[in-house]
Structure 1
Amino acid sequence: MSSPFAPLFAHIARYVPLSAAEADTLQTYLTRQTIARKEHLLTEGQICPANYFVLRGCLRTYLATEKGNEQTIQFGIEDWWLTDYASLDTQTPSQFYIQAVENTEVVVLDRRVQEEVFSRLPQLERYFRLLLQKSTAAALFRIKFIFSLSGEARYHHFNSTFPGFVQRVPQYMLASYLGFTPEFLSKIRAKVSHT
């Protein structure tokens, strides 16, 4: 039987074992949600209700600066989880937005059932711990690159690490994520296309 959650189960299986019976159990706690391009899953001031696994599409987390600009913090594409853990765990208002960059479909693991899921399927605690470790390491590397590499070097590193992704994201969002202006990104791309 093909499950609507098959991509998630395949992702989990890369980290921890999950039997067919356990996958059936997990499936009873999950829902799917479709988000139209530019629609928000979360807005600043809301309490984050869930953890989201991207089945197809692209999400981004961003914040609004004092000047009213959008600063992109992270992206989530197929096979990635995205949430605001600070808001989710403490049940306090989020300081971030989560928005669909493309028409997106996600698996939703609601906070209200999460502890019961971990109680019934304890290996999922290990799964999420391993993902958080990878995510934390990636965030630290991103901070290192922002402080230690030139803007041009950051673009080339991102482009070589995530080929194809650069074409999926609007230029202003990518520039914001990499820490520079869209105009600077245009100059880098123009230089690349002339070499």
Structure 2
Amino acid sequence: MSTPLINHIKRFIDLDEYQEQKLLAGIQKQSVKKKEYLLKEGQVCKANYFVEKGCLRIFFIGEKGEEQTTYFAIENWWISDYASLLSQAPSSFYIQAVETTDIAVFPYVHLESLAQDIPQIERYFRILMQKAYGASQQRIKYLYSFSREEMYRHFLKNYPHFVNRIPQYMLASFLGFTPEYLSEIRKKKI
């Protein structure tokens, strides 16, 4: 059975038809409208979300009431508040659709069950987490070592497919700028 999720998983591990069906049995498909929330601060995160089509973001509200985006997820990317998901404690984040998004909802209880029945699924998620952690380490390095303009140039070079999909204020939030500062940078010939 071919789905975007199964195709993505099979890039990293092998699954037979029975395992594919078992995996898909506990997953729900959902369409999320633009600006709709999957998670709000204070709620417990109950699932991991795989983006089949569209774009989601995770953010928190800073002390001054400003949104601080920490991560975007587009097609074939996962998103969740992993701290809340694993501990089943209230989240300090929001997950919101940047555009209308089709997702596969992977409930935490299903993941735990699958790990027992299909051990290689843990390998799949381990590989993804290692890649995500490495990317997170690089982002932290860039925050400390790049100028603001270098951050923007780096983002444009490495993620050009995001630029036209993400509103300027969200991109500014992700890069740690004000929307006005991002507008100034964009006016310059970079």
Please indicate the TM-score interval, normalised by the length of the shorter structure.
over 0.9
**1:188 aligned to 2:180?**
no
What is the TM-score with the length of structure 1 in the denominator? 0.95
Secondary structure at the aligned position of 2:30 is classed as: strand
Residue 106 of structure 2: aligned partner: 109
**CA–CA distance in 1 between the matches of 2:159 and 2:16?**
32
Hey, what does 1:119 align to over in structure 2?
Answer: 116
Look up the match of 1:170.
167
Q: Output the CA distance in 2 between the equivalents of 1:176 and 1:189.
A: 15
Could you tell me which runs of 5 or more consecutive residues in structure 2 were left unpaired when the two chains were aligned: none
Runs of 4+ in structure 1 displaced over 4 angstroms?
Answer: none
Report the secondary structure of 1:107's partner residue: strand
Map 1:5-44 onto structure 2 (within 5 A): 6-44=3-41
What is the CA RMSD across the aligned residues, in angstroms? 1.0
Give the C-alpha shift of residue 54 in structure 1: 0.2
Question: Is structure 2 residue 90 aligned with structure 1 residue 93?
Answer: yes
Q: How far off its partner does 1:41 sit? A: 0.2
How far off its partner does 1:156 sit?
Answer: 0.6
Q: Deviations over 1:143-175 (max 9, x none)?
A: 111111001100110111011211100000001
More divergent stretch after superposition (144-153 vs 17-26): 17-26
| Number of corresponding residues | 190
Deviation at 1:20, TM superposition (A): 2.1
Unmatched 5+ stretches in structure 1? none
Of 130, 134, 149, 2:146 maps to 149
Q: Identical aligned pairs, as a percentage?
A: 51
Aligned partners of 1:29 and 1:117 also within 8 Å: no
